[in-house]
Structures are given as structure tokens and as C-alpha cells.
Amino acid sequence: MRDVVKAIEWSDEKLRIVDQTMLPVELVHLELESYHGVIEAIKTLAVRGAPAIGIAGAYAAVLVAVESLKLDAALRCEFLGKALDEIESARPTAVNLSYAVKVQREIFAENRIVAGDIVDEKLVARLLGSASEIHERDRQMCDAIGSFGAELIPNGSTALTICNAGALATGGIGTALGVLYVAKEQGKLKRVYSCETRPLLQGSRLTCWELQQAGINVTLIVDSVAGALMKKGEIDFVVAGADRIAENGDTANKIGTYTLAILAQAHGIPFYIAAPETTFDRSLPRLSDELIELRDSKEVTCGFSAQTAPEGIDVYSPAFDITPKELISAFITDRGVIPGGRK
Ligand code: MRU
């Protein structure tokens, strides 16, 4: 069960990622040798999921250092600052990307004090060590979330999840799906319903693929089926991941998460957010819409090359929504379960 797909690996001075745009049709890898390549992969969602883009961003900073070795010292400082800014802004909502870039930026800054603008193999090795640490820590946090979360799951349960918060989205077994993998190991999980997750179908393309590989009973539903299933008494709990959680418990996650939280409350079904402690952004008292990424209208009107709306139609397509703590039964973190605000 723990032998899940590895979404990200550093090998032979390259970042090797599963190209998630090709799933479920083909399991292919991209080998990224430039930081621009990593940014492109993050923007196109070839690598996606908050922890995974944080890990990819940390490795991208290693590539920045390697690329800067070829530059004249006079150009280096400006190049480094610009490149790190570009990585950080590739996707705005997940706290993990800005955290990873911040950690790597500090290593560049310390080096600058000690050695001026010298970028050498020693600095590259330090950055790589730091990226590997972020990666390994994420793997361990997923295991811990899985163990804490599984304790909440009654025998014979059926879960509902949205998007993909699994191995493909993290450095380990996943957050929301981590809970499900461990519950399955413990013989408690009967079935998982996976919301399709319009418009980019991370639920049907990625979660269904991942759970099927792991031998978990998974049933795909289109997003609008969730309420009807709850009404029929088919769902025992909902579990989702998170991209950023503010001090007051406001939780940003894939668009549609808020709707599921409302539905879960209306039907008296527990609604859990599974996320590591690092997803909590204590610098923000609450979340605002400014942090919510807006996606290209083409993903809605012409997704997967099929035109499904008239030319020129106005589209509103936020990638994430914000669920208030009052709708969350509990946060399952790597340090334990924190009560939410739902009565
Ligand atoms: O747009 P995506 O696919 O990156 O959105 C991902 C999610 O919303 C996940 O639920 C979240 O990042 C947590 S992944 C452990």
C-alpha cells in the first residue's frame, strides 16, 4: 500500500516528474533540466498538488544555482533574484511553493554574506540538501497524517473525496488519500467515491487512477452527484486536502470543496481536511479571494480539446475556494487531529 507512485524524484542532476497531464492514459515522466522547465510544469499542472509544487519549487532553486554557474558574476545577483521570484509566482494559492522558495532564498542570502555572489558546487549541494529535506519531511508528514486520520474512520466506511490529494500530489502517500490508504491497510475502508473535479478532472484522471492502482474500490461521480449520494446515506465521511489554511481556519482547496462542506453539514456527515502543519499560514488572519488563482477560460470552454461552450463566452474559473472552519469537523495534521469549528 505504501508502495505508491513517486510523483517527483531528483536523479542525475535533473528533476524527474510524472507528467500528470498524460494520466490516466499513459504513465510518462518529464526530465526537467532548467528552472524554466519546472515553472512550465507547475503552470500546466504536469506537477500539481500543494506539497508537490513546493517540492518541485525547492528543486527548481537548485537548477537556478546550477544555471547561474554559467553566468558572469556581474549578472548573477539579478538573475538569482528574478528566477526565484518567477518560481514563487508560478501558482499563487498553495503556501508550500512560497515556503519552499523562502527556505532556498535564505540559503542564497546566507551564502551571499559569507562568499559574496559566488555560486559554487558547495552552494548547489546545500540547496539540494535542503530540497531533499523538504521532500523527505513531506513523505514523513503524509505517513503521520494517514495514521492519525485512520483513527477517525469507523469500520466499513465509505469516503468521498475531491481533486487529488494523494501520492501524485505529495512526496509520500498523500494527505486525504493518505488517510484512505492507511484506513484500507487497517481493513476499515469499504469504498471511495471520487468527484470528477471539473474542469481539469484531477478526480477522475488522477485519484481514480491512483486508487485503482492501489486496489481500492473507487467509484467515479460527476461533481453534482455528491448531494444525491449523501441523501441516500451512501457517504460516511468526506476528506479533502488543502492548499493553505489561515490562522482562523479558513481553508483554500480545490474549487468545489466548499460546496461539499455545506452538503456534508446539511446531511450530518463528518467533513475532514487533511493537511500537514506546514499548510497552516499563521501570517494570515483569514484568507482572501486575492490568493485564489484564476485559470484560463479555455480549460472550461475547450477542455481536453472538445469545445463545449460558444466562442467568446464569458467564463469565471477559480481553481480553489475557501471553506470556513465552521464547516470543518476536524483538521487531520501530521501532529494530530485538531478540532474544526463545526457544531
Ligand atoms: O489545482 P491542483 O490540482 O494543484 O489542486 C490541488 C488541490 O486542491 C489539492 O487538494 C491540494 O493541493 C492538496 S494536495 C495534498
Pocket of ligand 1 (CB under 6 A): 45, 48-51, 94, 163, 165, 169-170, 174-175, 202, 241-243, 253-254, 319
Q: Residue of the nearest CA to atom 2 in ligand 1?
A: 49
The answer, yes or no, to whether residue 175 has pLDDT greater than 60, is: yes
Mean residue pLDDT of the chain comes to 96
Confidence label for 201 from pLDDT (cuts 50, 70 and 90): very high
* DSSP state string for 94-138: -HHHHHHHHHHHHHHHHHHHHHTT---HHHHHHHHHHHHHHHHHH
- pLDDT at position 305, please? 94
Percent of the chain with pLDDT over 90: 91
CA of 101 to the centre of ligand 1 (A): 18
DSSP 42: H
Q: For the domain bounded by 8-142, which CATH number is listed?
A: 1.20.120.420
139 Cβ neighbours under 8 A, 6+ residues apart: 170, 171, 172
Q: Yes or no: say if 45 and 17 are a contact pair by the CB < 8 Å rule.
A: no
Confidence label for 1 from pLDDT (cuts 50, 70 and 90): low
- pLDDT at position 118, please? 72
Q: Ligand 1, from 253, 273, 317: best to mutate by most atoms within 8 Å of Cβ?
A: 253
Confidence label for 69 from pLDDT (cuts 50, 70 and 90): confident
Of the candidates 163, 209, 201, the one whose C-alpha atom is nearest the C-alpha of residue 306 is: 201
pLDDT digits (tens, 9 = 90+) for 17-48: 999 999 999 999 999 999 999 999 999 999 99
- Could you give the CA distance from residue 61 to residue 288 in angstroms, rounded to a whole number? 28
Q: Output Rg (C-alpha) for the chain, integer angstroms.
A: 20
Of the candidates 163, 224, 157, the one whose C-alpha atom is nearest the C-alpha of residue 192 is: 157
Please state the domain extents for the chain: 8-142, 144-339
Number of the ligand 1 atom closest to the C-alpha atom of 319: 1
- pLDDT at position 3, please? 74
CA of 175 to the centre of ligand 1 (A): 10
* DSSP state string for 54-103: HHHHHHHHHHHHHHHTTS-HHHHHHHHHHHHHHHHTSSSS-HHHHHHHHH
* DSSP state string for 208-261: HHHHHHTT--EEEE-GGGHHHHHHTT--SEEEE--SEEETT--EEEETTHHHHH
Number of the ligand 1 atom closest to the C-alpha atom of 197: 3
Tell me which CATH homologous superfamily contains domain 144-339: Translation initiation factor eif-2b; domain 2 (3.40.50.10470)
- pLDDT at position 121, please? 87
Any idea which residues carry the catalytic annotation? 243
- Could you give the CA distance from residue 150 to residue 129 in angstroms, rounded to a whole number? 32
What's the pTM? 0.96
pLDDT digits (tens, 9 = 90+) for 226-243: 999 999 999 999 999 999
Q: Ligand 1, from 48, 141, 294: best to mutate by most atoms within 8 Å of Cβ?
A: 48
Mean pLDDT of 92-106: 96
pLDDT digits (tens, 9 = 90+) for 281-324: 999 999 999 999 999 999 999 999 999 999 999 999 999 999 99
Secondary element (H or E) of residue 321: strand 320-323
- pLDDT at position 75, please? 85
CA of 196 to the centre of ligand 1 (A): 13
